[in-house]
Amino acid sequence: MPPVPIPILRPRLPRPSPANRMRILERYVLREHLFPFLIGFSIVVFLFTLDFMFDLIDLAVGKGVGLGIVLELFVLSLGYIVALAFPCSVLIASLAAFGRLSHDNEIAAMRSTGVNLLRIIAAPFAAALLLAIALVLFNNYVLPESNHALANLMADVGRKRPTAQITEGVFIDAFEGYNIFVEKVNGRTNEIRGVKIYQLSTTARPTTILAEWGVIHNSPDGRLMTLELHDGEIHEVPPNDAERTYRRLMFKTHNINIRTPGADLERRDRVARGDREMNLSMMQESIRQLDKDLRKAKESRDEILHEGGFASYRDFVHAAVPHAAPRGIQAWFRNALRALGSVGVIATGLPERADRGDSTRVISTVTMDVIQMRQLEIDALERRLNSLQVEVQKKFSIPAACLVFVLVGAPLGMRGRRSGVAVAFLSILFFIFYYLCLAGGEELADRRILSPWFAMWAPNLVIGAIGAWLTLQAAELIQRPRRRGRPRRATATPS
pLDDT of 44: 84
pLDDT of 64: 64
328 and 400 part of one domain: no
pLDDT of 314: 79
Where among 259, 288, 309 does a domain terminate? 259
Does residue 272 form part of some domain?
Answer: no
353 and 427 part of one domain: no
- Number of other residues whose CB lies within 10 A of the CB of residue 387: 16
Highest mean pLDDT: which of 1-10, 59-68, 198-207, 368-377? 368-377
Average pLDDT (109-138) is: 90
Does residue 3 form part of some domain?
Answer: no
Q: Is residue 408's pLDDT more than 80?
A: yes
Average pLDDT (158-174) is: 65
pLDDT in tens, 434-479: 888 888 888 888 888 889 999 999 999 999 999 999 898 888 777 7
Greatest Cα pair distance, the chain, in angstroms, is: 141
CB 417 within 8 A of CB 103: yes
Q: What is the DSSP string of 362-424?
A: ---HHHHHHHHHHHHHHHHHHHHHHHHHHHHHHHHHHHHHHHHHHHHHHHHHHGGGT-HHHHH
Distance CA 434, CA 447 (A): 20
Does residue 171 form part of some domain?
Answer: yes
416 and 373 part of one domain: no
pLDDT of 365: 72
CB 80 within 8 A of CB 138: no
pLDDT of 135: 95
DSSP state of 2: P
33 and 137 part of one domain: yes
**Where is pLDDT greater, at 53 or 340?**
53
pLDDT of 404: 93
176 and 237 part of one domain: yes
128 and 193 part of one domain: no
97 and 136 part of one domain: yes
128 and 80 part of one domain: yes
79 and 35 part of one domain: yes
Does residue 1 form part of some domain?
Answer: no
Q: Is residue 17's pLDDT more than 90?
A: no
Where among 378, 402, 429 does a domain terminate? 378
Q: What is the DSSP string of 300-323?
A: HHHHHHHHTT-SSHHHHHHHHS--
Spatial CB neighbours of 45, under 8 Å, sequence gap ≥ 6: 78, 81, 82, 85
Average pLDDT (419-447) is: 76
pLDDT in tens, 346-394: 333 334 443 444 444 556 777 777 888 888 888 888 888 998 999 999 9
140 and 28 part of one domain: yes
Does residue 11 form part of some domain?
Answer: no
pTM of the predicted protein model = 0.68
pLDDT in tens, 260-298: 654 455 556 666 788 888 999 999 999 999 999 999 988
Does residue 288 form part of some domain?
Answer: no
pLDDT of 70: 84
Does residue 281 form part of some domain?
Answer: no
Counting the structural domains of the chain, the total is 3
**Mean pLDDT over all residues of the chain?**
77
Percentage of residues in the chain with pLDDT exceeding 90? 21
Q: Is residue 125's pLDDT more than 90?
A: yes
Rounded alpha-carbon distances, angstroms, from residue 473 to 113, 262, 297, 412: 19, 66, 54, 11
107 and 80 part of one domain: yes
Does residue 268 form part of some domain?
Answer: no
Q: Is residue 396's pLDDT more than 70?
A: yes
Where among 259, 290, 324 does a domain terminate? 259
- pLDDT class for 63, splitting at 50, 70, 90? low
Domain range spanning residue 209? 165-259
Q: Is residue 228's pLDDT more than 50?
A: yes
30 and 142 part of one domain: yes
